[in-house]
């Protein structure tokens, strides 16, 4: 994270760290691997009391942050979640809450939003489509056709994080007028949610199928046909949070691997005394600090709504995506054989980093975006 956190942000960091260490330490994360949702609702409500779900929602709509810069406070939480590979629908709920706060109708804001902020209900953002675009808008394959009193949704979204346990689904669909977002109750007839086998132990993904699922006009979030800008902004929020989380995970792995190198002896001296290994640690330290710097740069730009925000978010996503899994794999190698055992904690981190790298755009997909965004 950035070096100059304010005292308030340090408090957020320390409170989050303490809460996670007490309520969802790694042993609990392993236990939750067998849980269908991958997290405990009561734990999620307690996290919401700490502000996990409120920071991207303005105070007048029941939200609030510590410093007033909601995203900058929230990435502090995100990084801590990465450090302990926390469970829970952190990114999906925050993205949907932000979307409803910005573009939801009165009913969304009066009923759905408060429940999300309180941690009483959970939402998922249905964006990616199988074998198709990772961020579809004009080219979305999930369609919505007008009917007498509303819309009919058809198509499949996959993979969708947190859909298994979600109460609400925010869906990006294509209409005759253009891309449109709809808030769909999970139990709507015609909606089926099929769990996928997720690489992460506790972050669950599912396929969400819409088979002529009917929703009323009031399900529209924002303006019909004009969701592209909302989708883009939501994507940038997701990327900023995801990058911060990955950086927290990699930082933690690097720290305990350095510690291991001091403690583990071979041929009469610690691993940390071998130059070949020292040099790998030096490379990783360099990449790690670069990851911190670029994640902070992206968060600042997205928070400020700067014209550079999309570019800096893709820079961060591409760089951190590439470096994070490479570094964690090298840390696996530095641990020797125990690094590929179930018992050692490192695979929990590798899973999280790999999932984050793959969702909301791979490094290659972000470089493709960047190529189109390069300054003239």
Partner 1 sequence: MTGTDVEDVDAFRARARTWLAGAMPRRSGAVGLDTVQEDRVARHRELQRTLFDGGFAGIVFPVEYGGLGLTPAHQRAFTEEAREYDMPVVFNVPTLGILASTLLDFGSEDQKRRHIPAILRGDELWVQFLSEPSGGSDLAGCITRATQDGDVWVLNGSKIWSSGAHWCDWAMCLARTNWDVPKHRGLTMFIVEIHQPGIQIDRIRQVAGTSEFCQEFFDDVQIPASAVVGAVNDGWTVASRLLFHERNSVGGASPYVSGGGPEGPSGGRLPGNRLVAEEVGVAADPEVGQLLAESYLLDVVHGQLAERIGAGIRSGAFPGPAGAILRLFSGEKFVRQTDITMEIAGVSAAAAPKGALVGRYADQFLGRQGNCLGGGSTEMARNIISERVLGMPREYAPDRDIPFNQVKRNELPSRP
CB of 285 to partner 1, least distance (A): 6
Which of residues 34 and 372 has its CB atom nearest to partner 1 in the complex? 372
* Residue 316 C-beta-side C-alpha neighbours within 13 Å: 34
Judged by DSSP in three states, 139 sits in coil
Q: Which residues bind partner 1 (CB under 8 A)?
A: 2-4, 258, 261-262, 269-270, 272-273, 275, 278-279, 281-283, 285-286, 289-290, 292-294, 296-297, 308, 311-312, 314-315, 318-319, 364, 366-368, 370-372, 374-375
| Separation of alpha carbons 43 and 25, rounded Å | 12
Which of residues 53 and 356 has its CB atom nearest to partner 1 in the complex? 356
**Tokens standing for residue 264:** 């583990």
CB of 335 to partner 1, least distance (A): 16
Which of residues 107 and 265 has its CB atom nearest to partner 1 in the complex? 265
Which of residues 197 and 269 has its CB atom nearest to partner 1 in the complex? 269
CB of 371 to partner 1, least distance (A): 3
CB of 243 to partner 1, least distance (A): 12
CB of 139 to partner 1, least distance (A): 17
Those residues whose C-beta lies under 8 Å from the C-beta of residue 358, and which sit 6 or more positions away, are: none
SS3 for 57-82 is: CCHHHCCCCCCCCHHHHHHHHHHHHH
Question: Residue 123: which H helix or E strand, with range?
Answer: strand 123-126
Q: Which residue has the tokens 């510590």?
A: 66
| Separation of alpha carbons 216 and 219, rounded Å | 6
CB of 311 to partner 1, least distance (A): 6
Sign of the dihedral defined by the CA atoms of residues 223, 224, 229, 234, in that order: positive
Which of residues 36 and 307 has its CB atom nearest to partner 1 in the complex? 307
| Separation of alpha carbons 251 and 270, rounded Å | 22
CB of 258 to partner 1, least distance (A): 6
| Separation of alpha carbons 343 and 263, rounded Å | 19
CB of 146 to partner 1, least distance (A): 37
Which of residues 108 and 323 has its CB atom nearest to partner 1 in the complex? 323
Which of residues 122 and 315 has its CB atom nearest to partner 1 in the complex? 315
CB of 359 to partner 1, least distance (A): 19
Query: Residue 71: which of 51, 100, 85, 44 has the closest Cα?
Result: 51
| Separation of alpha carbons 161 and 66, rounded Å | 27
Which of residues 169 and 288 has its CB atom nearest to partner 1 in the complex? 288
Would you say 204 and 37 are in contact if contact means Cβ atoms under 8 Å apart?
yes
Which of residues 4 and 22 has its CB atom nearest to partner 1 in the complex? 4
DSSP 241-281: HHHHHHHHHHHHHHHHHHHHHHH-EETTEEGGG-HHHHHHH
**Is beta strand 123-126 parallel, antiparallel or unpaired with respect to 168-175?**
parallel
């Amino acid at each position: 994270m950035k070096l100059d956190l304010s005292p308030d942000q340090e408090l957020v960091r320390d409170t989050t760290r303490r809460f996670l260490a007490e309520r969802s330490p790694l042993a609990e994360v392993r236990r939750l691997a067998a849980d269908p949702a991958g997290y405990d609702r009561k734990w999620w409500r307690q996290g919401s009391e700490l502000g996990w779900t409120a920071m991207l929602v303005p105070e007048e709509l029941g939200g609030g942050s510590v410093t007033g810069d909601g995203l900058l406070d929230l990435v502090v939480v995100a990084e801590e979640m990465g450090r302990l590979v926390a469970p829970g629908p952190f990114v999906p709920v925050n993205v949907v809450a932000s979307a409803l706060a910005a573009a939801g109708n009165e009913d969304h804001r009066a009923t759905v939003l408060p429940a999300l902020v309180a941690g009483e209900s959970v939402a998922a953002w249905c964006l990616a489509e199988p074998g198709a675009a990772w961020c579809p808008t004009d080219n979305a394959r999930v369609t919505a056709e007008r009917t007498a009193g509303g819309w009919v949704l058809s198509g499949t979204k996959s993979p969708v994080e947190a859909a298994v346990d979600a109460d609400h689904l925010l869906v990006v669909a294509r209409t005759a007028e253009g891309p449109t977002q709809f808030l769909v109750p999970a139990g709507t007839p015609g909606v089926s949610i099929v769990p996928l086998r997720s690489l992460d132990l506790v972050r669950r993904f599912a396929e969400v199928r819409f088979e002529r699922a009917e929703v009323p006009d009031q399900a529209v979030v924002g303006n019909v046909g004009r969701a592209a800008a909302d989708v883009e902004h939501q994507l940038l929020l997701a990327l900023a949070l995801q990058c911060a989380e990955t950086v927290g995970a990699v930082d933690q792995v690097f720290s305990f691997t350095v510690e291991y190198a001091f403690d583990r002896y071979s041929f009469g001296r610690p691993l940390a005394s071998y130059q070949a290994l020292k040099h790998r640690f030096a490379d990783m330290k360099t990449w790690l600090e670069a990851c911190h710097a670029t994640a902070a740069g992206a968060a600042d730009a997205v928070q400020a709504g700067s014209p550079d925000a999309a570019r800096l978010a893709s820079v961060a996503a591409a760089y951190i995506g590439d470096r994070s899994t490479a570094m964690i794999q090298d840390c696996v190698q530095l641990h020797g054989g125990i690094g590929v055992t179930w018992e050692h904690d490192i695979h929990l981190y590798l899973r999280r980093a790999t999932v984050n790298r793959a969702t909301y755009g791979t490094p290659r997909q972000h470089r493709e975006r960047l190529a189109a965004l390069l300054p003239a």
